[in-house]
């Protein structure tokens, strides 16, 4: 019963920290995971086992690629190009459903 309360408190604290937006979301998640491990709620052998999952690796890769595209200016260039399409009535008719 105590374990459930501790997990609930960790999740609530994590939610509050995410809403406050003072720290990055990945740092908040790691703090919550490590807190659960220190309190013995998660077996130490299983703490980082989820990071080997293909879905986690895929999401991490997408985040890295999207940040690289943002910093390189590709996203801004694409947004400008799409805005120009939106200003052209003929192209609006071509792409409207």
Is 42:36 a contact under the CB 8 Å cutoff?
yes
For residue 7, with 0-12 CB atoms within 10 Å meaning exposed, 13-18 middle and 19 or more buried, which class applies? middle
Confidence of residue 26 (pLDDT cuts 50, 70, 90): confident
Mean pLDDT of 65-91: 87
Look up the pTM and report it.
Answer: 0.62
| Residue 97: per-residue pLDDT | 66
């Amino acid at each position: 019963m105590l374990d459930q309360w501790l997990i609930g408190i960790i999740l609530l604290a994590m939610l509050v920290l995410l809403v406050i937006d003072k720290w990055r979301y990945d740092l908040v998640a790691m703090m919550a995971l490590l807190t659960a491990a220190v309190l013995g709620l998660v077996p130490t052998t299983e703490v980082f086992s989820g990071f080997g999952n293909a879905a986690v690796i895929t999401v991490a890769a997408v985040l890295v690629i999207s940040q690289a595209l943002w910093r390189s200016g590709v996203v801004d260039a694409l947004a400008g190009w799409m805005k120009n399409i939106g200003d052209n009535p003929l192209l609006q008719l071509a792409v409207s459903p």
